[in-house]
Amino acid sequence: MAATQRLSSVLAHLNPLSESTGRAKLLQKNPDDIVITYAARTPLTKAKKGALKDTPIDDLLIALLTIVREQSNLDPSLVEDVCLGNVLAPGQGYMARSSVLAAGYPVTTAASVANRFCSSGLLAVQQIANQILAGSIEVGIAIGAESMSTCPDDGAPVLSKKITEHALAGQNLQPMGQTSENVAAQFGITREMQDAFAARSFQRAERAQKEGWSKDEIVPIKVTVKDPKTGEPKEVLADRDDGVRYGTTKESLGKIRAAFPQWKPSATTGGNASQITDGAAAVLLMKRSKAEELGQKILGKFVAATIVGLEPRIMGIGPSYAIPKVLGKTGLKVEDVDVFEINEAFASMGVYCVEKLGLDPEKVNPRGGAIALGHPLGCTGARQVVTALSELRRQNKRIAVTSMCVGTGMGMAGVFVSEH
């Protein structure tokens, strides 16, 4: 036994690519693994301007759920629950269940809603995965969707004095822009650092779009768009992300005025913060044994997800806590991860998280992030999963971590494996 261990040690030194124990364990295949057999998203388009601007949230859901039903080669009667990650839509429960039925799923397919702000899409994935693990259901769909064109974000509602006068809870009255400035001020994230980070996001998104990297992520959908001048409706095919600004540089971003001059250091701008966007993404989940029984092609697997809390005033740095936590729970090291999809709510938090965690910038958002593509709140957590699996296939790599900061002071992170 000792000789075998010594041989393994020698081989590990000779082969620096030999996998760590945590990574090797994750790459094993077991019948009870929660696997993903379909993953796709709509294009992400600018709120109030893009191709999805006149598409209500329920029509967006119906369009994508119909595509999942048609393209997944799965009997829809096997889908027992659909969990919608959504933040802004009124009447979410009515809308979710009704959209499932209108998309052609049988009356036996249930629906629920997950809302944890920017992590809602990932929370929906976790909710379905947990139900499957617990034996409550065998097959489910997680879908994240947001129509920021038709469901505006009005911020915090009127809250109790017990909240507003509380030292921590009262911080939740601070607008998101203020929390970005808080991060920049507290951790010394300069305007130049933020613009450089944002420029890299745009440049990567431009390359990915021009080279067609995201074609296997995006399913085109037919939508009706009203002419802004005449109001005349016309049908168009929404098939590409429209927030990518070609030719963006750190210097061009440096010319944009501060978005929040009332809060110092006033380094956040319309060019180095996430865009307000419409979009949806969906993931079909089941156990590996079920997928094999049904002849479903396995794209990847869901390993784990976790949540953390922190001061609401610096909510942006949530991933810097959530990522180490989920790595610890899965036995992974930072270097075991091939791709990090970290939501770029603001460049301030993006710069901080990458530096704090010592991440290789080349592994972080290789196709660009929310600064270039947009951040439809409830969609993002599911969209990152679709993007990460596609990018792992492109690179012929295996492990991805997705993460985002969460309004009111939280951070979430998940671990996924590609099985291409």
Whole-structure pTM value: 0.95
CA trace torsion 233, 239, 241, 242 (10° rounding): -40
pLDDT digits (tens, 9 = 90+) for 23-50: 999 999 999 999 999 999 999 999 999 9
Query: In this predicted model, what pLDDT tens digit does every residue of 136-172 receive, in sequence order?
Result: 999 999 999 999 999 999 999 999 999 999 999 999 9
- Say if residue 64's pLDDT is above 60: yes
Structure tokens at 66: 């119909």
Angle at which helix 380-395 crosses helix 120-134, to 10 degrees, equals: 80
Identify the DSSP state of 273.
B
CB 144 within 8 A of CB 402: no
> Which residues are identified as catalytic?
118, 375, 405
Per-residue pLDDT of 298-354, as tens digits, reads 999 999 999 999 999 999 999 999 999 999 999 999 999 999 999 999 999 999 999
Which residue, among 45, 58, 123, has the nearest Cα to 375 in the 3D structure? 45
Cα distances (Å, whole numbers) of residue 70 to 87, 160, 245: 27, 47, 33
Cα distances (Å, whole numbers) of residue 299 to 38, 84, 115, 286, 395 = 7, 21, 26, 12, 14
CB 414 within 8 A of CB 125: yes
Tell me the per-residue pLDDT of 231-287, one tens digit each, with 9 for 90 and over.
999 999 999 999 999 999 999 999 999 999 999 999 999 999 999 999 999 999 999
Nearest to 408 by CA among 169, 56, 122: 169
Query: Alpha helix (H) ranges present in 46-91?
Result: 57-71
pLDDT at 8 > cutoff 80? no
DSSP run (H or E) holding 238: strand 233-238
Average pLDDT of the segment spanning 288-293: 98
Whether 109 has a pLDDT exceeding 60, the answer reads: yes
